[in-house]
């Protein structure tokens, strides 16, 4: 092969290589441009890739309670496709339990929804009104737009009609956002529980302790109040073993009715000696189990408090307590069962049932969790046997000093 020929082959290869490289770059660049979609929505824009699923979220704040909301969502269906992701991102998480309807079959690029509830739809704290999933079908510029048709104030005392007008009605605000959906690792839907203007997040199945503390300058003869909550999201669960319902009213005629009506529990307490809350102390403890993701407020309203002697009354009629000398504080905390040495049945208390539980375990009638076993080994010899059961029994009847048995160890 001559030098000229080698040079020619080399140059040809170089040209082919460059052409290939250029082609590759060109191909990559055009694919890149094709696969991007630009989604605009009221108040923002979002860039997504073809094939992505995104979540379009609308949050609403409204000063008043509503009886009815109706709206239409318009989207560019050439590039976007509605995708039902409600299993992970509930469509109307704060309207569950109302008669809310989402119509995705209305027309291409149109989704209509409405919700009505005679009790009123409460968005006085801003929260999610709508979550919708969209899959990006094509590259291009696409728009999503929510149009409110009307919102009816509870009791029909006023209507807000939007009719294509900008949504700048006083006392109503909207927040829009688009976020990527991770359907492989979707978020666990959580409940939002609002107590005394603080919002707590909790998982489904969590147990929460709601506590009302009271301080009152005078002695009372009678107190009556109601606890309001959303029974779609929360249910009352008995935690009185660890948290007595009315711990400071044990000697009075305290009555607690957990199911006065749906979402309302009522309590009252009377004691001729007077109920002394001159030092702030716990009036009420209630356990709530989170049934499903959603929003609920927990709120105690007092109907009346009668001062000892019966001459003066404070009537609140469901209004906030602002009477001089009376202070109410509401708190929410996760229900935590303390680890108590000897607590084989795991109820947070030491009693004869723990010895019985242990005997059943020793006789292979029941099994125990590792945590229960570590608490059951009261003599700390690394084994769970009849000696532990006997020790618990002896401690309970006072035959031997308790040492750490019955004490909180974790």
Residues at the contact surface with Ca ion, assessed by CB under 5 A: 343, 345, 347, 349, 354, 377, 379, 381, 383, 388
Taking the complex as a whole, the smallest distance from the CB of residue 410 to Ca ion amounts, in Å, to 15
Whichever of 39 and 405 has its CB closer to Ca ion, that residue is: 405
Taking the complex as a whole, the smallest distance from the CB of residue 383 to Ca ion amounts, in Å, to 5
Taking the complex as a whole, the smallest distance from the CB of residue 347 to Ca ion amounts, in Å, to 4
Whichever of 76 and 354 has its CB closer to Ca ion, that residue is: 354
DSSP of 74-92: EE-TTTEEEE--TTTS-SS
Whichever of 6 and 386 has its CB closer to Ca ion, that residue is: 386
The tokens of 27 are what?
A: 């191909």
Taking the complex as a whole, the smallest distance from the CB of residue 370 to Ca ion amounts, in Å, to 14
CA distance 105 to 102: 9
Whichever of 36 and 349 has its CB closer to Ca ion, that residue is: 349
CA of residue 124 relative to chain centroid, distance: 16
Taking the complex as a whole, the smallest distance from the CB of residue 289 to Ca ion amounts, in Å, to 20
The residues, ordered by sequence, that sit 6+ positions from 178 with a Cβ below 8 Å of its Cβ are: 39, 41, 44, 46, 48, 54, 55, 56, 57, 144
CA distance 301 to 196: 12
Whichever of 129 and 378 has its CB closer to Ca ion, that residue is: 378
Q: How many CB atoms lie within 10 A of CB 376?
A: 25
CA distances in angstroms from 12 to 4, 5, 8, 150, listed in the order given: 12, 10, 6, 71
Taking the complex as a whole, the smallest distance from the CB of residue 409 to Ca ion amounts, in Å, to 13
Unique residue bearing structure tokens 């702030």 = 280
For 115: left if phi > 0, alpha if psi spans -120 to 50, otherwise beta; the answer is: beta
CB-CB contact of 209 with 285 (8 Å): yes
Whichever of 323 and 347 has its CB closer to Ca ion, that residue is: 347
């Amino acid at each position: 092969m001559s030098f000229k020929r080698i040079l020619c082959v080399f140059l040809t290869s170089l040209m082919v290589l460059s052409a290939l490289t250029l082609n590759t770059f060109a191909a990559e660049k055009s694919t890149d441009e094709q696969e991007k979609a630009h989604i605009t929505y009221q108040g923002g824009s979002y860039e997504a890739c073809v094939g992505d699923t995104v979540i379009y979220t609308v949050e609403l704040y409204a000063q008043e309670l509503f009886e009815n909301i109706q709206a239409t969502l318009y989207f560019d269906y050439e590039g976007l496709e509605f995708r039902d992701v409600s299993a992970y991102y509930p469509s109307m998480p704060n309207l569950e339990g109302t008669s809310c309807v989402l119509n995705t079959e209305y027309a291409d690029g149109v989704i209509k929804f409405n919700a009505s509830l005679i009790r009123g739809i409460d968005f006085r704290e801003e929260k999610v009104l709508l979550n919708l999933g969209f899959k990006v079908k094509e590259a291009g510029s696409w728009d999503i737009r929510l149009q409110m048709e009307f919102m009816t104030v509870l009791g029909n005392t006023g209507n807000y009609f939007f009719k294509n007008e900008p949504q700048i009605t006083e006392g109503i605000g909207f927040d829009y956002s688009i976020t990527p959906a991770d359907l492989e690792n979707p978020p666990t839907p959580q409940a939002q529980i609002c107590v005394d203007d603080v919002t707590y997040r909790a998982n489904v199945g969590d147990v929460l302790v709601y506590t009302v503390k009271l301080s009152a300058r005078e002695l009372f003869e009678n107190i009556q109040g109601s606890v309001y909550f959303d029974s779609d999201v929360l249910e009352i669960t008995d935690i009185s073993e660890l948290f007595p319902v009315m711990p400071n009213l044990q000697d009075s005629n305290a009555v607690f009715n957990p199911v006065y009506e749906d979402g309302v529990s009522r309590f009252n307490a009377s004691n001729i000696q007077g109920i002394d809350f001159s030092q702030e102390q716990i009036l009420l403890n209630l356990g709530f189990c989170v049934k499903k993701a959603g929003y609920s407020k927990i709120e105690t309203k007092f109907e009346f408090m009668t001062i000892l002697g019966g001459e003066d009354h404070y009537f609140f009629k469901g209004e906030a307590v602002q009477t001089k000398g009376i202070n109410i504080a509401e708190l929410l905390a996760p229900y935590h069962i303390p680890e108590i040495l000897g607590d084989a049945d795991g109820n947070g208390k030491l009693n004869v049932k723990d010895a019985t539980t242990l005997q059943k375990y020793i006789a292979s009638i029941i099994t125990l969790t590792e945590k229960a076993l570590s608490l059951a080994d009261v003599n700390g010899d690394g084994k769970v046997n009849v000696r532990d059961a006997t020790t618990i029994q002896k401690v309970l009847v006072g035959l031997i000093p308790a040492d750490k048995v019955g004490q909180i160890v974790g």
